[in-house]
Amino acid sequence: MSGPKTQIMLVDDHAMMRHGITLLVNMEPDMEVCAEAGDGTEALTLLKKNGRVDIVLLDITLKTVPGFEVIKSMHLLLPALPVLFVSMHDEDAYAERALQVGGRGYVSKQEPGAVLITAIREVLKGNIYLSKKMHAKLLRKISAGYSEPEQLINTLTLSEFEVFHLIGTGHSSQEIARLLNRSVKTIETHRFNIRTKLNLKDGADLIRYATQWNLDELRKSMS
């Protein structure tokens, strides 16, 4: 007789994405999705009711609280709970921060389903999962040390970094507010704080800096 299946919680604000991942996971003979949540608050409520969760698959961008904040509350509740980030965001920009907040790995939603299953199994073994490309990039960073611009970027909060990245990909404050489900006023506050931390004099400087940073990250990922 086989043992109990691995219990997996999905946290993603897109119902169709949850449905697709559930079908994928439930095809594995030793795994099953035991709970689904559309936002962080719902996920925490379910975790309090059901302590029998072996791993959480967590999106970064949720409708209310970002996934990078949700994981902190999850680990206050269940410190040993492994969390694997599954996101549409660029791995080069977000994977490192996912690890910094306590994630055990990062998988892009653009990857084949087999990659997600492999990542789940690696995390359950106690390992960290990143793509080979991202793993090599982090090793190069550690070996070479962080440059001054990277040190400044690391002073941004997770929400500020999210806004900074979207500025660099050409989005306006209105577009960012819609994408992150926040008010334009909140985005403008983030922009001001980012300029202050990065010692930039105005909005035009911020756009140039963020755009150049994204281009540099893209070149590094292709090297």
CA-to-CA separations, 132 to 91, 115, 128, 136, 183, in angstroms, rounded:
11, 12, 12, 6, 37
Angle between helix axes 184-197 and 173-180 (nearest 10 degrees) is 110
Q: What domains, with CATH codes, occur in the chain?
A: 6-137 (3.40.50.2300), 146-222 (1.10.10.10)
- Pick the residue with more confidence: 136 or 59? 59
Determine contact, residues 34/52, Cβ cutoff 8 Å: yes
Residue 1 has pLDDT above 80, yes or no: no
**Minimum mean pLDDT range among 7-11, 39-43, 65-69, 171-175:** 65-69
Full-model pTM:
0.72
Q: For the chain, what percent of residues have pLDDT higher than 70?
A: 90
CA-to-CA separations, 114 to 24, 95, 166, in angstroms, rounded:
9, 19, 29
Chain Cα centroid distance, residue 1: 37
**Minimum mean pLDDT range among 15-24, 31-40, 144-153:** 144-153
Express each pLDDT in 143-197 by its tens digit. 555 555 567 787 888 788 888 988 988 889 998 888 787 899 999 999 999 999 9
Express each pLDDT in 53-91 by its tens digit. 999 999 988 877 778 888 988 998 899 999 999 998 777
